[in-house]
Amino acid sequence: MGWKEAAEPVLTRMPAVRRPEGHVPFKRKLMWTAGILVLYFFLTNIALLGLQGGEATDLFGEFRSVLAGEMGSLMQVGIGPIVTASIVLQLLGGANLLGLDTDDPRDQVLYQGLQKLLVIVMTALTALPMVFAGGFLPAQQSLTLGGLEFGQTQIEMLLFLQIFIGGILILYMDEVVSKWGIGSGIGLFIIASVSQRLVSGFVSPTSEAFFYSWYEIITGQTGVSVASLDGLTYMLSDGGGQLIALVTTILIFAIVVYAESVRVEIPLSHARVKGARGRFPVKLIYASVLPMILVRALQANIQFMGQILNRTWGGMPTWLGDYSAGEPTGGFFYYLNPIYSPQDWMWWTADVGQEAWQVLIRISIDLSFMVVGGAIFAIFWVETTNMGPEATARQIQNSGMQIPGFRQNVGVVEKVMERYIPQVTVIGGALVGLLAVWANMLGTIGGVTGTGLLLAVSITYKLYEEIAEEQMMEMHPMMRQMFGRE
Do the Cβ atoms of 85 and 122 come closer than 8 Å?
yes
**Given a cut of 60, is residue 484 above it in pLDDT?**
no
**Given a cut of 90, is residue 52 above it in pLDDT?**
no
Taking alpha carbons only, the member of 417, 372, 367 closest to residue 392 is 417
Any idea where the domains of the chain sit in the sequence?
A: 1-13+26-181, 206-486
Q: Which residue has the higher pLDDT, 228 or 396?
A: 396
Q: What is the mean pLDDT of residues 209-216?
A: 87
**Given a cut of 60, is residue 482 above it in pLDDT?**
no
Q: Flag the least confident range among 202-216, 223-237, 340-354.
A: 223-237
Report the C-alpha gap between 393 and 372 in whole angstroms: 27
Q: What is the CATH code of the structural domain delimited by 206-486?
A: 1.10.3370.10
How much is the pLDDT for 274? 64
Taking alpha carbons only, the member of 377, 374, 399, 379 closest to residue 389 is 379
Q: What is the mean pLDDT of residues 366-383?
A: 89
pLDDT category at 351 given cuts 50, 70, 90 is confident
323 phi, psi to nearest 5 deg: -110, 145
pLDDT 10s digits, 72-104: 899 999 988 998 888 888 777 766 777 777 667
Report the C-alpha gap between 192 and 189 in whole angstroms: 5
User: Would you say the CATH fold of 206-486 matches that of 1-13+26-181?
Assistant: yes
How much is the pLDDT for 478? 58
Report the C-alpha gap between 242 and 208 in whole angstroms: 9
How much is the pLDDT for 363? 93
Report the C-alpha gap between 412 and 330 in whole angstroms: 54
How much is the pLDDT for 221? 79
Do the Cβ atoms of 309 and 322 come closer than 8 Å?
no
Q: Flag the least confident range among 74-83, 239-248, 417-426.
A: 239-248
pLDDT 10s digits, 457-476: 888 888 888 888 887 777 66
Q: What is the mean pLDDT of the chain?
A: 83
Burial of 286 (0-12, 13-18, 19+ CB in 10 A): buried
Q: What is the mean pLDDT of residues 256-282?
A: 77
For residue 397, what is the DSSP state? H
**Given a cut of 60, is residue 346 above it in pLDDT?**
yes
Q: What is the mean pLDDT of residues 370-387?
A: 86
Q: Flag the least confident range among 174-183, 211-220, 270-279, 338-347.
A: 270-279
53: Cα within 13 Å, side-chain hemisphere: 2
Q: What is the mean pLDDT of residues 256-265?
A: 84
- CATH homologous superfamily of domain 1-13+26-181? SecY subunit domain (1.10.3370.10)
Taking alpha carbons only, the member of 435, 480, 17 closest to residue 248 is 435
Angle at 222 between CA 216 and CA 225, to 5 degrees: 110
Longest distance between any two alpha carbons in the chain, whole Å: 79
pLDDT 10s digits, 165-181: 999 999 999 999 999 99
